[in-house]
Amino acid sequence: MSDEIGLRGYRVQDPARTLARRRAIMLAMAEVIIEKGYATTTLEDVAARMGTSRAVIYYQFRSKEDLYAEIVVEAVTRAAERLDAIMARGEPPERTLFAALRDLISVGMEPLNRSTLMTGRPRSLADDARARIRGVDRQYERLLTEVIRSGIETGVFIDRDPRFLRYTLMFAVNGNFIWRRPDGPLKTDYILAELPQMLMNSVLAHPCDYHAHGEAPPRASLA
């Protein structure tokens, strides 16, 4: 028998099933947020989406704010894990940054990610929830800044403030998921093909090296 204790003080008999239920609730919440917006989303909406009662949600989460904070923590934690894996390949900083940008774009339309990009960090969140979110935000920011700083130090990226570059790149990527509709004319494949190269052009010290000139092929490659 598991010794794990749940939110309401009950003994968790099946941790895997509990985790699956929590993630199902988080996904339902994210989908409702995308449709209705965070401000008007209620736990009754989430329960209705799942075909269950609100009590099932309260068994796992204290409130709407607690549930949303968990969505953000999950989304950002996964992003940091993926970025860490990209960095572990040991590729040059320009290829690492290019891969990181493509990663953010490729998952941006997934419900957990898009719901947080549309909502941001509401002021209604409790201090402890904000602290948890800030912790994972800083983890991702630290990794991305490390990539950017490495590129500046090696002369591959233009010498600008790494934090300025980091925020500019992140807002440019995340912003397109706020205004872009899943059923709109601009699909993920198009954004994935165009946006990373556009952004890399803004940070590379010698962007012309990565473009063909007439019949001459590029001198370097990001992919």
Predicted local distance difference test score (pLDDT) of residue 195: 96
Query: Which of these, 31, 20, 122, 32, lies nearest to 69 by C-alpha position?
Result: 122
Which of 55-59, 137-141, 146-150 is least confident? 55-59
Indicate the residue among 37, 61, 85 that finishes a domain.
Answer: 61
Sign of the CA dihedral running 104, 107, 113, 118 = positive
Count how many domains the chain has: 2
**CATH number reported for the structural domain that contains residue 102 in this entry:** 1.10.357.10
Mean pLDDT, range 9-19, rounded to an integer: 65
Indicate the residue among 45, 61, 77 that finishes a domain.
Answer: 61
Which of 66-75, 87-96, 124-133, 174-183 is least confident? 174-183
Same domain, 55 and 142: no
Residue 9: pLDDT band by 50, 70, 90 thresholds?
A: very low
**CATH number reported for the structural domain that contains residue 43 in this entry:** 1.10.10.60
Tell me: the pLDDT tens digits for 49-66?
999 999 999 989 999 999
Q: Which residues contact 180 (CB under 8 A, 6 or more apart)?
A: 186, 191
Which range marks the domain in which residue 170 is found?
Answer: 64-210
Same domain, 135 and 87: yes
Same domain, 46 and 79: no
Same domain, 194 and 85: yes
Indicate the residue among 14, 46, 61 that finishes a domain.
Answer: 61
Same domain, 176 and 68: yes
Same domain, 91 and 53: no
Same domain, 73 and 52: no
Percentage, residues of the chain above pLDDT 70 = 93
- Is the residue at 98 inside a domain? yes
